[in-house]
Amino acid sequence: MAKRKLSKQQQRRISSQQQNIIKDEESLDKSSSQTARVISHHGRQLYAETEALEKIKCKIRQNLGDIACGDYVVIQTNKTATTTPSASDVSTNKQYVVIAVKERTNLLVKTGIAGAIKPVAANIGQLVIVTALKPKPNPYLIDRYLTAAENLPAKALIIINKVDLLDDETKKIAEDLSNLYQKIGYCVIKASVKHNIGITEISDALSNTTSILVGLSGVGKSSIVEAILPKEEIKIGDVSQATGEGKHTTTVSAFYHLKDNGIIIDSPGVRDFTPINNSLDEITHGFIDVRQFHGACKFSNCSHLKEPECAMQQAVSDNKLNKQRFNNYLRLMQEFNQQD
> Which spans of this chain sit near Zn ion (rule: CB under 5 A)?
297, 302, 304, 310, 312
Output the residue with the shortest Cβ distance to ligand GTP: 269
Are 71 and 37 contacting, i.e. CB atoms less than 8 angstroms apart?
A: yes
Under the binding rule (CB under 5 A), the answer on residue 223 touching Mg ion is no
3-state secondary structure of 250: coil
Residue from the set 34, 151, 222, 284 that interacts with ligand GTP by CB under 6 A:
222
User: Is residue 164 near ligand GTP by the rule CB under 6 A?
Assistant: yes
CB nearer to Zn ion: give 312 or 332. 312
Per-residue binder mask for Mg ion (CB under 5 A), 235-254, x = binder:
--------------xx----
Q: Hey, is 128 helix, strand or coil?
A: strand
- Which stretches within 124-166 are classed as H helix? 139-151
Closest separation in Å from C-beta 309 to Zn ion: 8
Using the minimum distance from each CB to Mg ion, give the nearer residue, 94 or 221: 221
SS3 298: coil
Asked whether position 110 contacts ligand GTP by CB under 6 A, the answer is no
Residues touching Mg ion: how many (CB under 5 A)?
A: 4
> For 61, left (φ over 0), alpha (ψ -120 to 50), or beta?
beta
CB of 237 to ligand GTP, least distance (A): 4
| Cα 237 from Cα 246, distance rounded (Å) | 7
Among residues 81, 141, 136, 89, the alpha carbon closest in space to that of 110 is found at: 141
Q: Which residue of 168, 233, 238, 318 would you call a contact of ligand GTP, by CB under 6 A?
A: 238
| 203 scored as a contact of ligand GTP (CB under 6 A) | no
Query: Footprint of Mg ion on residues 245-304 (CB under 5 A)?
Result: 249-250
Would you count residue 249 as binding ligand GTP (CB under 6 A)? yes
Name residues whose C-beta falls within 8 Å of residue 209's C-beta, 6 or more positions apart in sequence.
125, 126, 155, 262, 263
Asked whether 215 and 129 are in contact (CB, 8 A), the reply is yes
Instruction: Determine, following the binding rule CB under 6 A, whether residue 310 of this chain makes contact with ligand GTP.
Output: no
The gap between the terminal CA atoms of the chain, to the nearest Å, is 12
**Counting contacts by CB under 6 A, is residue 272 touching ligand GTP?**
no
Q: Which residues bind ligand GTP (CB under 6 A)?
A: 161-162, 164-165, 192-194, 217-223, 236-239, 246-250, 268-269
